[in-house]
Amino acid sequence: MPKKKEKAPSVSPVKKGSIKAASHPTALPSPAHVRLIQPGFWRKHGLAAGLIMLLAFALYAASISYGYILDDEMVIHKNAYVLKGIKGIRDIFAYDSFMGYFQKKESLLLLEGGRYRPLSLATFALEIEIFGKNRPNISHFINILLYGFTGILLYRLFLAFLPLGERGVWYFSAALVGALVYIAHPLHSEAVANIKGRDEILALLCSLGALYASIKYLDTHSRLWYGMSGVLLLLGMFSKENALTFLAVIPLTLWFFGRASGSQVLRAAVPLLLAAIVFIWVRYRALGFMLDHGQAVKDLMNNPFIEMTRSEKYATIFLTLGWYIKLLFWPHPLTHDYYPYHVPKVNWSDWRPLLSLIFYVGIGLWALFNLKRRRIPAYAIAYWLLTLSIVSNLFVSVGTFMNERFAYMPSVAFALLVGWFLAVKLPQWLGEEPQRPYLLGLGLAALIVGIFSFLTIRRVPVWKDVIALNTAAVRVSPNSARSHCFYVTALYEHKYQKAKNPTEKARWVDTMEYHINRSLAINPNYGSALVMKGAVAAARYEQNKQLDTLLSTFQMLMERIPNNANFRPFFNEYIKYLANASGKPQQINEFVYRLGYDYFFRQKKDLPNAVAVMELLLNTLAEDERLVRAIAEVYAAGGNPQKAAEMQQRAASRMGLKAGR
């Protein structure tokens, strides 16, 4: 069709069968259903698709050389089911996604709600089957590739939502600007640069695929696309539960952009609803519950609201909802740690949650009243609210205050809004042709994509290793107990234990001691920090040989976390080591007697721990008659006269040896 010379109307005319011009600059037209997906995408837009993929790799290519980090061990290299390759896929779909890591159902009760995301784990198992174990470079490459495909699919859908007029150009279209903003946004760096984030990537990619298939069905009435919409949404839900929100997003989109009637929307929603029913049934069979496993989660790090009143809880939730908005527009600084109390505990006397509440109520009401007018911002707001709802903590507890990866799916709304504003709305305000290049629009688009790209390139290296990640976290999240504890763990394993020079080791001990004390000051009951407190205390003892200080710390830890699976083996071995190597066996004996007999036996009536602690000194330099008689007494109290008699005889033998000397 030849180009017209006259000035285009508020929305440029498009080819036959697509959306026509709207009278309102922010609205869409109002004919009956229109065909949204135009043919010839790869022929007409292959260059744009290539640009999107190129940007994804340009921003994240460095991560291909990175290793496993953070929760990667739970879903890949220490997950027993994943390590089996194809043979493990059945178990991956049959159990909680962390079952292959914990290997015990009891351990899963420490987390709220359960985790059922088998599709991403199945892809990891396939990688191991094809490429072998310990190939994080392959996993990182696939993450970037899937991210690039997500950007291309977004571009395809944005073209359907905001098609080019006959005078529009692809290189300055709402679709391309929106897709590039999405790919460049640094808020997505956690999902892409952290291998575990593939669940987020697949959930959005498959959900957008289901949306695309639903639009194709509405356009063509093809049974293939009809069935594919349900299959793709099911795959999205198998990737992560937040894909369930597309049960509402897809019908809304068909009605809003496709002008589908109520009956058409209901018909298109049938395979989506069936997919949701299948997913919920499979998930229930795998986990054994719907949303609540029935056990109260009392650990602050897995239930951050347990120390709050109801009023404080909801004020803090709205504080985080406001932070999400801030991070959309200015994603700096970023952190992987939003645990207590990087996000502070607030109440409604604080202006920040109050402002956030007013803002959300305001945009929600505005969207509700403007959806029928087919205003793009109204759709973007509705999409944001729907997809954020499931991770907002308002309806379902997610076990943490917030996370940047939780905005991965909702931020599509931001990308669409930016593309629409720069390429459609702003030109209309300035008297320019929509989706035609103009100096201000080009400059703003380049500036936004450029700034976001710069911030992403700076953020990606943080995911290189645990030292880089936790160093960055402790700087940005100084009030998080978790950031300090994880930093100490990383230093202990990768710096202190590998250091040879005594001066260097002493410097690391100073650093670790400060940060572990900071962690426990924030959360005195933090189990992981208490474990590291013991390790750091032992490291300090190696420096100054102050045995009293070490034993005092061990006493406190054994009273707080006596059966901790990480601390107890370390404690047992270190006490045996001290009994023989400290040069003060009598002091060790006194400590063990006081802890095992006085505390566990007499005070706590804990016979198993009393015996276990006192038996540590048997066959060591610190073994003496008093200790052995105490063990005999504990055995007798526990109904084991045979062992009690054995210990009494052993005590008598030691007494005889002592007299003979």
The answer, yes or no, to whether residue 110 has pLDDT greater than 90, is no
The rounded mean pLDDT for the chain is 91
Q: Phi, psi (5° rounding) for residue 27? A: -110, 165
Q: Are 24 and 450 in contact (CB under 8 A)?
A: no
Give the integer Cα–Cα distance in Å for 354 and 311.
12
The answer, yes or no, to whether residue 544 has pLDDT greater than 90, is yes
Residue 411's nearest CA partner among 383, 371, 372, 377 is 383
pLDDT in tens, 53-76: 999 999 999 999 999 998 999 999
The answer, yes or no, to whether residue 24 has pLDDT greater than 90, is no
Give the integer Cα–Cα distance in Å for 154 and 183.
10
The answer, yes or no, to whether residue 2 has pLDDT greater than 80, is no
Q: Is 432 helix (H, G, I), strand (E, B) or coil?
A: coil
pLDDT in tens, 364-416: 999 999 999 999 999 999 999 999 999 999 998 898 999 999 999 999 999 99
Give the integer Cα–Cα distance in Å for 390 and 234.
17
Those residues whose C-beta lies under 8 Å from the C-beta of residue 353, and which sit 6 or more positions away, are 315, 316, 317, 318, 319, 322, 346, 347
Give the integer Cα–Cα distance in Å for 480 and 118.
30
Q: What is the pLDDT of residue 652?
A: 86
Q: Domain 566-661 has what CATH class? A: mainly alpha
Which of the four pLDDT bands, split at 50, 70 and 90, describes residue 85? very high
Count Cβ neighbours within 10 Å for each residue of 251-280 and write b for 16 or more, e otherwise.
bbbbbbbbbbeeebbeebbebbeebbeebe
Q: What is the pLDDT of residue 3?
A: 41
Select the CATH number that applies to the domain covering 465-544 from these four: 1.25.40, 1.20.120, 1.10.1040, 1.10.10: 1.25.40
Q: Is 375 helix (H, G, I), strand (E, B) or coil?
A: strand
- 262-287 and 246-258 are packed helices; what angle lies between their axes, rounded to 10 degrees? 170
465-544 and 566-661, same CATH topology: yes
Q: What is the pLDDT of residue 105?
A: 77
- 20 vs 627, higher pLDDT: 627
- 547-560 and 567-581 are packed helices; what angle lies between their axes, rounded to 10 degrees? 150
pLDDT mean over 478-492: 97
Q: What is the pLDDT of residue 600?
A: 96
The answer, yes or no, to whether residue 446 has pLDDT greater than 60, is yes
Q: What is the pLDDT of residue 12?
A: 35
Q: What is the pLDDT of residue 657?
A: 52
Which structure tokens are listed for 68? 């496993």
The answer, yes or no, to whether residue 30 has pLDDT greater than 50, is no
DSSP string, 444-464: HHHHHHHHHHHHHHHHGGGGS
Residue 436's nearest CA partner among 10, 2, 1 is 10
Do you find a cis peptide bond into 569, omega within 30 degrees of 0? no
Q: What is the pLDDT of residue 192?
A: 98
The answer, yes or no, to whether residue 25 has pLDDT greater than 50, is no
DSSP string, 460-513: GGGGSSHHHHHHHHHHH-TT-HHHHHHHHHHHIIIIITT--SHHHHHHHHHHHH
Q: What is the pLDDT of residue 290?
A: 77
The answer, yes or no, to whether residue 11 has pLDDT greater than 80, is no
Question: What would the 3-class secondary structure string for 10-57 be?
Answer: CCCCCCCCCCCCCCCCCECCCCCCCCCCCCCHHHHHHHHHHHHHHHHH
The answer, yes or no, to whether residue 353 has pLDDT greater than 70, is yes
Beta bridge partners of 375: 27
650's enclosing H/E stretch is helix 641-660
Which structure tokens are listed for 656? 């005889």
Count Cβ neighbours within 10 Å for each residue of 427-460 and write b for 16 or more, e otherwise.
beeeebbbbbbbeebeeebeebbeebbebbbebb
Residue 346's nearest CA partner among 435, 241, 479 is 479
Give the integer Cα–Cα distance in Å for 371 and 189.
32
Residue 124's nearest CA partner among 106, 105, 101 is 101
Give the integer Cα–Cα distance in Å for 632 and 155.
76
pLDDT in tens, 562-614: 999 999 999 999 999 999 998 999 999 999 999 999 999 999 999 999 999 99
Give the integer Cα–Cα distance in Å for 173 and 165.
10
pLDDT mean over 27-45: 73
Which of the four pLDDT bands, split at 50, 70 and 90, describes residue 177? very high
pLDDT mean over 204-226: 97
First to last CA, the chain: 113
Q: What is the pLDDT of residue 415?
A: 98
pTM: 0.91
Which of the four pLDDT bands, split at 50, 70 and 90, describes residue 488? very high
pLDDT in tens, 252-271: 999 999 888 999 999 999 99
Give the integer Cα–Cα distance in Å for 389 and 387.
6
Which of the four pLDDT bands, split at 50, 70 and 90, describes residue 32? low
Give the integer Cα–Cα distance in Å for 193 and 156.
24
Give the integer Cα–Cα distance in Å for 52 and 214.
24
Q: What is the pLDDT of residue 109?
A: 65
Q: pLDDT over 90 for what percent of the chain?
A: 84
Which of the four pLDDT bands, split at 50, 70 and 90, describes residue 478? very high
Which structure tokens are listed for 525? 């009951």
* Dihedral sign computed on CA atoms, order 613, 619, 622, 623: positive
Give the integer Cα–Cα distance in Å for 328 and 346.
22
The answer, yes or no, to whether residue 82 has pLDDT greater than 80, is yes
For the chain, the residue count is: 661
Residue 82's nearest CA partner among 198, 166, 170, 168 is 198
- Residue 14 half-sphere exposure toward CB, CA atoms < 13 A: 26
Those residues whose C-beta lies under 8 Å from the C-beta of residue 615, and which sit 6 or more positions away, are 631
The answer, yes or no, to whether residue 15 has pLDDT greater than 60, is no
Which structure tokens are listed for 267? 């018909």
Q: What is the pLDDT of residue 279?
A: 97
Q: What ranges do the domains of the chain cover?
A: 46-287+297-429+436-458, 465-544, 566-661
Which of the four pLDDT bands, split at 50, 70 and 90, describes residue 4? very low
pLDDT mean over 334-345: 96
Q: Are 26 and 376 in contact (CB under 8 A)?
A: yes
The answer, yes or no, to whether residue 178 has pLDDT greater than 60, is yes
Q: What is the pLDDT of residue 472?
A: 97
